[in-house]
A and B are shown apart, each in its own frame.
Chain A
Amino acid sequence: MGATFLIVAAIYFAVILGISLWGLSKTRTEEDFIAAGRTIGPWVGGAVLTATQISAGTFVGTIGRHYLTGVSWWYIWFGVWAGWLVSAFFVAPKLRRYGALTVPDYVATRFGSTAAGALAGALIVIAYSIYLVAQYQAAGEVALTVFGMRPLTAMLILVASTAFYTLLGGVRSSSYIDFLQTLIMVSALLVAVPVLLYYTGGVSQARAFLTSLDPRLTGWYYGPKELIAFAVSFGFSIAAAPYEMTRFNSMRDEQTTRKAIYISIGFQVIIGLAALSIGMLMRVLFPALSSQDLASAVMAFEVLPPIVGALLLIAMLSAIMSTVNSVLLVVGAGVAHDLYGKLLRPAASQVHRVFVNRVAIAVLATVPIWFALQKYGDVQAIVVEQTKFIASFFFVPVVIGLNWKHGTGAGAIAAMLGGFLACLIWEFTGQRGFASHGLDAVEVGIAVSAVAFVLVSRLTRPERRP
């Protein structure tokens, strides 16, 4: 497997490098770097949105969650897809009309408030740094399980390779790399499922084993309150996810963006069903793993034929890299375009802004490594945490702000701060009683954000748009 993986990996990285260099040759301006010159079509766009969302959270976390808890976790996908549909109808088309390069850009333009845009940029950097922790941790788990490699080494390799191609070609090259990565992910998952079924003796055999092992695995491990809370968390965060919305800006037009979202949902249905099947079938094949997050790596290394196993490892790596890439583009732009470019050096040239963006990416890519080495929680739990924060501070000013014309800059600031703080405080207080009252931090965060947005907007006057 080692030699096979190295050959497959070498081919993969060579192709990535080629696409990155091509992207570099086409990147001249900040718009080229952050928005690919707005040239991306629906199929590449759909693959971009899929690859951005499908991360270690899916390949390691979701498969691991199904391994541990069975079928009921699958229902959270409906929250995800509801979020995408909200995005398709209420967010993406209107967002493009503002001509913004980034989401904080949109916030500043929509509400006529540089302060609101800067706050959005700062919150994005914080929340997405948490997301990077999950990706790095997943990479460390996989590397340790499969190759016996130290997690720190794996993380440094991941950061170096992903940051490298992100720095080179920006959104343009990353879009085509995402297309390749989506194809790899879907192919690897679709091949893995029949192979696992072959070994477990088929669906009915696997189902009988799992039901006998623990009836909740084929029934309801989670109750409706928990599933709704998870689905709401994911749905709200997807509807207003900066790392996805940034990609809308790279597409040709509104119609392309909507088509891309539908195509992405199609890819996600396939991936979601495959992840469910794999998680549960791995519980049949290896019923007592020391951690559920090892299920996908053990499958790749111990069960699948060598080339398919290598392909799946590359798919996992692709999922992590594509998400890390998208997050780095967003946080890099958050620092360079929204904070540096708007507050510190508005007169900076295009070349200088692109340079600052690249430096920001290099720095922000390395800080989360330390946190990932501490392993504060399992991968899926960390991803759930950051979706709660994103949803709490962004959903209201973005989605409601796009569709309610009375929102003001002060209202947007109150919504972001109120949502963020409410979510944070509830996590340490009221969340402990979730089993009795069923109120999750994301629901509290969004509710407080909405109330703050409406109240403060009504009490203040809108600023003139810059």
Chain B
Amino acid sequence: MTAAGLALAAATLSGLGQAGTLERATIRIVVDEAGATVDLRYLIAQPPEVVALNAMRLPGHRLFLLDLPDEGPPARQSVSPGLVRLTFSAGRRDTLAVAIRYRVQGPTHRIPIFVPETPTNPPGEHVEILVAGVPPDRVAPNRVPRFVALADGTLRAAPDHVPGLVAVVRQDGGPSFPAVMQWGVIAIAVAGTLFWAAWARRS
């Protein structure tokens, strides 16, 4: 495949086509009974003139923007049926630091994150997510992204990309759905293998 490019493939070869690189993302989440408070700090290199952050709107959630630093770039918020968008006017600069704090009120088994449209450039530890305030018996067995527990009970993840949500709190009522799917697959595989072995023996 040459760089001469095909009109067909060119449109899709460009990938997501976002300018800039997300150099560093630090996400701190404190969970409580009523919801979660989220602190985001993003450092974007070679940002586009307008930087957008998108967070999904989940059932039962309300999002409140708590704090934007006075010295930061001006921001605008817009709400559409599926997402909440924050846009920052970066102007022309080499780097842009964005810091926001917001409150998510509602179920805590999924916590939406404002994701910059500018991606990271893996590999490398560009993203760190810390979640505090989750009692040990309320930690979900399958977490998104992959979290590990630190000595003080804080949960830490370092994915290559910023996720659209964080799922660390066990959902109320019944076993975890992903765990059910997982063990279901194993049960079907074992049953299928035994069935095949029995059928092969008979024939």
Contact = CB atoms under 8 A, between A and B. Distances in A.
Contact of B15 (A202, A291, A385): A291
Contacts, number: 171
B163 interface: yes
A88 B177 CA distance: 41
Interface residues of A, number: 65
- Chain A interface mostly: helix
B163 A427 contact: no
A224 interface: no
A381 interface: yes
Given A205-B58, A302-B159, A308-B178, A212 B8 contact: no
B8 A440 contact: yes
A434 B116 contact: no
A286 B1 CA distance: 28
A198 B18 contact: no
A194 B178 CA distance: 8
A305 B142 contact: yes
Contacts of A298: 159-161
B203 to A, nearest CB: 12
Nearest to B144: A303
A145 B160 contact: yes
Contacts of A266: none
Contacts of A48: none
Contact of B16 (A230, A289, A384): A289
Given A211-B82, A288-B115, A288-B119, A308 B182 contact: yes
Contacts of B12: 65, 68-69, 378, 380-381
Nearest to B183: A307
A344 B160 CA distance: 53
Give the interface size bracket for B toward A.
35 or more
A253 B110 CA distance: 54
B146 interface: yes
Given A209-B57, A287-B115, A303-B144, A377 B81 contact: no
Interface string A368-409: 000000001110111011000000000000000000000000
Given A145-B160, A205-B56, A311 B185 contact: yes
Contacts of B83: 208-209, 212-213
A431 interface: yes
A308 to B, nearest CB: 5
Contact of B1 (A65, A144, A376): A376
A436 to B, nearest CB: 9
B149 interface: no
A198 B181 CA distance: 11
A427 B9 CA distance: 11
B196 to A, nearest CB: 10
Most chain A CB within 10 A, of B11, B80, B160, is at B160
B108 interface: no
A301 interface: yes
* Most B C-beta atoms less than 10 A away, residue of A65, A207, A285, A427: A285
26 contacts: A201-B56, A201-B58, A202-B59, A211-B81, A212-B80, A212-B85, A213-B54, A284-B56, A288-B16, A288-B22, A288-B119, A290-B122, A298-B160, A298-B161, A302-B144, A302-B145, A302-B159, A303-B144, A304-B178, A305-B142, A307-B182, A384-B8, A428-B4, A432-B7, A434-B6, A440-B8
